[in-house]
Structure 1
Amino acid sequence: MFYHNWRDILYVLTRLVRPALVVETGVRGGLSSAYMLSALDHNTRGQLVSIDIGDTSVLPADLEDPEIGWLVPHRLRNRWELRLGDSKSELPSVLGDSTGLFFSDVPNAILRAELATAAARMRPGSIIVTCCPVGSPAEATWNEFADAALTNTSRATRWASEDGRSDLCAGLLGDDGPSGFEV
């Protein structure tokens, strides 16, 4: 059972913040990328830098020419830079003061490093969003990060099924930076 389209939240946040730069990790098909790019297009400003490891085996098998981000419409790609590589090495060169929104949709194992990098490089008041399967290590990492580095946090249900639930978690980066949150 799926809930309301959680990507609408990414769209609304991008429209409201009007960031010069949005950064996301974990692209796959690129549907979330398309929502944020649509918002940037309506804002008539801003760029999206997306980072993905580039594993096309996670894409639908029936795609004729599988590529990461295949769902991003060509008319929106002028505001989009797709970087294929490891987020641990790519993020430090992308995130900075101009990043108004960071969306991490990655496996639990690398979430901590991504959040620590974002907190160290982004300015206070920037928005950080991630997806957390309830009861997972990612949820524990998010909760620790939120306590150490964020203000005004919020959660929404991303999806729910018989096997569990995943939440979309968001918050504003506080003035104190990532005090007490380490990789």
Structure 2
Amino acid sequence: MPSALYDPAVRTVLDRLFGAAQGDGSLMASLLAGLAPGAVIERMPAAELADLAGEAYLPVAPEVGTLLYTLARASRPALVVEFGTSFGISTIHLAAALRDNGSGQIVTSELSASKVRAAEANVAEAGLGDLVDVRAGDALETLRDLPGPADLVLLDGWNHIYLQVLRVLEPNLRPGTLIIADDTVRFADETRDYLDHVQDPANGYTTVHLPLDDGLTLSTRH
């Protein structure tokens, strides 16, 4: 049976989104150049950051999307939790795996109201809307109440708060939960506190790094 990842409806949406995301580099460069002198992204309010990147796709790379599908397909998670929905590219890869698994749910969080609407529309167009709960708002609040323990976590929002989001999720992590953090090489400075946390076995994680795209860090809960 063909994988849901190659279903025509899924491929149509993903191809359109990946094509649109090719303009992200110049868009973000222009937006960052327009910041006030001395502005530091890590110190900006979350709502201001969401507005700043409201038109940016900020996607996972295609090969990272395929890896997400593969990991979710193999681990058969009952609950996937995602920080940083954006336009839904990574969400669709994960949901395609759940469709092929025959069960599972995704809870994903996005602060930008316009992106929430776009992601919901994209996931629905791909035929995967019944598997995805897109929560609008600050992930530090929206991800506190989950329908069960998280089996797989994707951190792909603002890098400098990865550790804060992980701490919110830790009460809902079980032994064996897989945590995937994106962009940890390109934004190593912004994710340093997160990396220090998951690389210390005393904190309950085993961690490995993958040199895909901007760098992935995979951790499992002890």
Structure-2-length-normalised TM-score: 0.64
Q: Does structure 1 retain, via aligned residues, the 8 Å contact 2:159–2:187?
A: no
Identify the residue that residue 15 of structure 1 maps to in structure 2: 73
Pick closer, same or farther for the CA change 1:48–1:4 going to 2, 3 Å.
closer
Question: SS where residue 137 of structure 1 aligns?
Answer: coil
Higher helix share: 2
Please list the CA deviations of residues 48-103 of structure 1 after superposition, one character each: whole Å capped at 9, or x if unmatched.
111100253x79xxxxxx72354323411111111111101111102742x10011
Please list the CA deviations of residues 101-122 of structure 1 after superposition, one character each: whole Å capped at 9, or x if unmatched.
0111111332111111222321
Match of 1:102 among 125, 148, 153: 153
Larger Rg: 2
**Deviation for aligned residue 1:4:** 6.3
- Provide the identity percentage: 25
Amino acid at match of 1:102: V
Residue 127 of structure 1 pairs with residue 182 of structure 2 = no
Q: Residues 12-161 of structure 1: matches in 2 within 5 Å?
A: 12-56=70-114, 67-72=118-123, 73-94=125-146, 96-97=148-149, 99-131=150-182, 132-134=184-186, 136-146=188-198, 147=200, 148-151=203-206, 153-159=207-213
Amino acid at match of 1:173: R
Please list the CA deviations of residues 122-180 of structure 1 after superposition, one character each: whole Å capped at 9, or x if unmatched.
111101111124353333123212123311x2222342xxxxxx211111011xxxxxx
Higher relative contact order (CA 8 A, sep 6+): 1
Structure-1-length-normalised TM-score: 0.76
**Where does the alignment leave 5 or more consecutive residues of structure 2 unmatched?**
1-59
Higher strand share: 1
Identify the residue that residue 171 of structure 1 maps to in structure 2: 219
**Deviation for aligned residue 1:17:** 1.2
Identify the residue that residue 163 of structure 1 maps to in structure 2: none
Identify the residue that residue 178 of structure 1 maps to in structure 2: none
RMSD of aligned Cα (Å): 2.4
**Where does the alignment leave 5 or more consecutive residues of structure 1 unmatched?**
60-65, 160-165, 175-183
